[in-house]
């Protein structure tokens, strides 16, 4: 019982509590540690002492006092005298008496965590930690680094926030287009880290990627009507809805063609489609994400792999490639063209991606699959060999080895 309440407080109130404390003290480096310590103290006391009447208020009060103690230890009590007055409990919600206090405190936290003054690689991790309270160990798993490494990165980022004077505010609307792109890129990076892990045994880190989906939808809720955030939330929900079917019984990746579509979460697909159909064509990152969401929607609404509207997907990828110039988009377009016009047409599209992504295992893998479909098994085997050689150890590499072995030509590498 006590643990359930504590879990709910963490999930529902972490960002708000952290924001209230950062607004009061302006010290994210001290506040984040103090709040984590307060939750640890609750975990120790509540099971035996009982759950307090106002659990979130209890946690905030303990965290508040811990920040005060930390400031006193720094010898800054006199300078911080105004801040040290304990108000005896948290406000129930946003505080209009404080400048900017009518804004949900999670929103300035999100802008703070994704500020361009921070290293790009730490922004998604800090956003997950600050806004949602995702444990450092889970974030480390998501980004495939040791927990100590991720803890050090987050510590450096918090110190950077303090020393650089990055404000705890919602930016002026005049700079929203640029800043919202920063927010969207950070969240998308967190999501893709779970769905395209660079090595390791896990094919998909579902729980950690799910936190990125939750953050995307929260951002869209906090800043309604922003196309880049709506497109991001739609895209991630449409892709995440297939999570239960992405892994085989043996732990390998389940390709789209072989996934059990009855395991796709139709209620989530419907939610993603509602967001998507409300969007109009636009430009920039918002349009990139909208087009990617459109591709995901074509897949999610098809009754089978064969019945997928591959021609529409190929056209969408062509528009996306024109917008981005991305060789990875060209790679995906090659797959779609291969489905529409045959494997040789797909291989023709693939050549440009090969030139721009030399040695990439996914290029070799797509080439192998297209050659296999065309009946050129010896060339397909050679392409599989190239893919195995270039792919990091892990579940994906093992899957490629198995695909190569299924040709029945012998000489299977690795495994």
Assign 3-class secondary structure to 317-365: HHHHHHHHCCHHHHHHHHHHHHHHHCHHHHHHHHHHHHHHCCCCHHHHH
Helix, strand and coil in the chain, % to nearest 5: 70, 0, 30
Going by C-alpha positions, the residue among 184, 65, 205 that lies closest to residue 134 is 205
> Structure tokens of 299?
């897949």
> Structure tokens of 47?
């099971």
Q: What pLDDT score was predicted for residue 89?
A: 47
How far, in Å, CA of 232 to CA of 320, rounded?
15
Q: What pLDDT score was predicted for residue 359?
A: 77
Q: What pLDDT score was predicted for residue 229?
A: 97
The pTM (predicted TM-score) of the whole model is 0.85
- Give the torsion sign (CA, 386, 347, 283, 267): negative
How far, in Å, CA of 43 to CA of 37, rounded?
10
Q: What pLDDT score was predicted for residue 127?
A: 94
Q: Splitting the chain (415 residues) into consecutive groups of 10 residues, what average pLDDT does each group show?
A: 90 92 90 93 92 93 93 66 50 40 79 93 94 90 88 92 88 89 94 68 75 95 95 98 88 85 97 98 97 98 95 97 93 95 95 80 93 94 93 83 87 58
Query: How many CB atoms neighbour CB 87 within 10 A?
Result: 10
Task: Produce one character per residue of 372-387: b if its CB has 16 or more CB atoms within 10 Å, e if not.
Answer: bbbebeeebbbbbbbb
- Whole-angstrom CA distances from 2 to 8, 9, 181, 323 are 10, 11, 40, 52
Rounded CA Rg of the chain: 24
Q: What pLDDT score was predicted for residue 249?
A: 80
């Amino acid at each position: 019982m006590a643990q359930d309440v504590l879990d709910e407080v963490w999930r529902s109130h972490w960002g708000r509590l952290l924001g209230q404390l950062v607004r009061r003290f302006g010290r994210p480096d001290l506040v984040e540690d103090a709040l984590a310590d307060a939750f640890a103290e609750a975990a120790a006391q509540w099971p035996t002492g009982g759950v307090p009447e106002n659990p979130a208020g209890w946690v905030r009060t303990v965290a508040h006092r811990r920040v005060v103690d930390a400031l006193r230890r720094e010898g800054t009590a006199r300078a911080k005298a105004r801040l040290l007055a304990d108000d005896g409990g948290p406000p129930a919600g946003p505080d209009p008496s404080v400048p900017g206090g009518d804004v949900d405190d999670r929103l300035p936290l999100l802008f703070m965590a994704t500020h361009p003054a921070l290293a790009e690689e730490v922004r998604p991790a800090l956003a997950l930690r600050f806004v949602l309270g995702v444990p450092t160990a889970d974030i480390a798993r998501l980004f495939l680094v040791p927990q100590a490494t991720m803890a050090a990165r987050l510590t450096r980022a918090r110190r950077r926030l303090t020393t650089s004077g990055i404000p705890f505010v919602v930016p002026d609307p005049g700079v929203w287009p640029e800043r919202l792109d920063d927010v969207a890129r950070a969240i998308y990076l967190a999501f893709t880290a779970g769905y395209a892990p660079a090595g390791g045994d896990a094919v998909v880190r579902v729980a950690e990627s799910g936190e990125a989906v939750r953050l995307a939808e929260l951002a869209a809720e906090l800043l309604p009507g922003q196309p880049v955030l709506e497109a991001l939330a739609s895209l991630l929900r449409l892709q995440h809805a297939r999570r239960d079917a992405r892994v085989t019984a043996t732990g390998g990746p389940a390709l789209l063609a072989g996934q059990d579509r009855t395991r796709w979460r139709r209620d989530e697909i419907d939610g993603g489609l509602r967001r998507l159909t409300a969007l109009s064509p636009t430009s920039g990152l918002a349009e990139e994400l909208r087009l990617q969401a459109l591709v995901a929607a074509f897949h999610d609404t098809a009754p089978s792999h064969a019945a997928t509207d591959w021609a529409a997907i190929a056209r969408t990828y062509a528009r996306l490639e024109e917008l981005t110039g991305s060789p990875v988009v060209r790679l995906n377009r090659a797959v779609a063209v291969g489905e529409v016009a045959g494997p040789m047409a797909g291989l023709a599209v693939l050549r440009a991606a090969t030139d721009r992504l030399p040695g990439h295992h996914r290029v070799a893998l797509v080439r192998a699959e297209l050659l296999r479909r065309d009946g050129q098994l010896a060339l397909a085997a050679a392409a599989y060999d190239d893919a195995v050689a270039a792919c990091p150890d892990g579940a994906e590499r093992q899957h490629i080895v198995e695909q190569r072995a299924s040709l029945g030509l012998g000489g299977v590498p690795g495994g």
